[in-house]
Chain A
Amino acid sequence: EVQLVESGGDLVQPGGSLRLSCAASGFTVSSNYMSWVRQAPGKGLEWVSIIYSSGTTYHADSVKGRFTISRHNSKNTVFLQMNTLRPEDTAVYYCARDRTSGSGYGYWGQGTLVTVSS
Chain B
Amino acid sequence: SYVLTQPPSVSVAPGKTASIACGGNKIERKSVHWYQQKPGQAPVLVVYDDTDRPSGIPERFSGSNSGNTATLTIKRVEAGDEADYYCQVWDSNTYHRVFGGGTKLTVL
Which residues in A have some Cβ–Cβ distance to B below 8 Å?
35, 37, 44-47, 50, 58, 60-61, 94, 99, 102-106, 108-111
CB distance from A32 to the nearest CB of B (A): 14
Interface check B60, CB cutoff 8 A: no
Instruction: Determine if A103 and B35 form an interchain contact, defined as CB atoms under 8 angstroms apart.
Output: no
Task: Report the 7 A-B pairs with minimum CB-CB distance, sorted nearest first.
Answer: A104-B33, A104-B48, A108-B42, A44-B102, A47-B97, A45-B99, A103-B48
- Taking each of B42, B49, B95, B102, which has the highest tally of chain A beta carbons within 10 Å of its own beta carbon? B42
Measured between beta carbons, the chain B residues less than 8 angstroms from A94 are 42-43
B98 near A47: Cβ-Cβ < 8 Å: yes
Instruction: Please count the residue pairs between chain A and chain B whose beta carbons lie under 8 angstroms apart in the complex.
Output: 59
The count of chain B contact residues (Cβ–Cβ below 8 Å) is: 26
Given contact pairs A45-B86, A47-B98, A58-B96, A103 touches B49 in the complex (Cβ within 8 A): yes
The answer to whether B31 has its CB under 8 Å from any CB of chain A is yes
| In contact, A106 and B48 (Cβ under 8 angstroms) | yes
In whole Å, how far is A113's beta carbon from the nearest beta carbon of chain B?
12
Contact A45 B96 (CB under 8 A): no
B101 neighbours in A (Cβ, 8 Å): 44
User: Which single member of B35, B42, B45, B84 contacts A109 (CB below 8 Å)?
Assistant: B42
